[in-house]
């Protein structure tokens, strides 16, 4: 039986020389692979109280929407600066290749709501940390984070765990 990592394509030297890009679009395109990933991402949260799923731009939207649907809860996108139409709060952060700003609507999460944060890949943890900071500023309680891929050498898991946040990943790849 195929595992989640068997559906993920590696593209060498993208977006820069020396990078092994882990491409989940091949996983998303395969109905069995996508189902396996969603089911495995949901598994740790069976029976837990979760009010909303937050997806980090952009592949986290695909995963988060599917997971929110399965949990019968709301979905909240955390987007790049300037993409949301309503009143937002923002958080800057560092990425592997520079800096960025993410935003969320200021009314997307109510104080005390239990939140699951979802994305495809955990690398340095910058995007996830920024998303968590936004959720906390709105009063949300982070129940856990869920990723398809962890890149342990880049330290994202350690960063999030040092913040007191639980991390689940379906698979890990060595290297950058």
137 is annotated as an active-site residue: no
- In this structure, what are the phi and psi dihedrals at residue 151, rounded to the nearest 5 degrees? -110, 85
Catalytic residue among 5, 57, 96, 136: 96
161 is annotated as an active-site residue: no
Catalytic residue among 22, 59, 79, 157: 59
Give the active site residues: 59, 96
């Amino acid at each position: 039986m195929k595992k989640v990592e068997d559906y993920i394509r590696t593209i060498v030297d993208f977006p820069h020389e020396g990078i092994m890009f882990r491409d989940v679009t091949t996983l998303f395109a395969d109905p069995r692979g996508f189902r396996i990933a969603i089911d495995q991402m949901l598994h740790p949260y069976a029976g837990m109280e979760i009010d909303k799923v937050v997806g980090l731009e952009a592949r986290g939207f695909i995963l988060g929407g599917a997971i929110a649907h399965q949990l019968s809860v709301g979905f909240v996108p955390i987007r790049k600066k300037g993409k949301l139409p309503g009143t937002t709060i923002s958080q800057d952060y560092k990425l592997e290749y520079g800096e960025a700003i993410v935003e969320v609507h200021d009314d997307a999460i109510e104080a005390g709501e239990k939140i699951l944060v979802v994305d495809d890949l955990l690398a340095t943890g910058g995007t996830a940390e920024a998303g968590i900071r936004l959720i906390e500023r709105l009063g949300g309680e982070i129940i856990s984070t869920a990723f398809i891929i962890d890149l342990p050498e880049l330290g994202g898991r350690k960063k999030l765990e040092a913040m007191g946040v639980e991390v689940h990943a379906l698979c890990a790849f060595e290297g950058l």
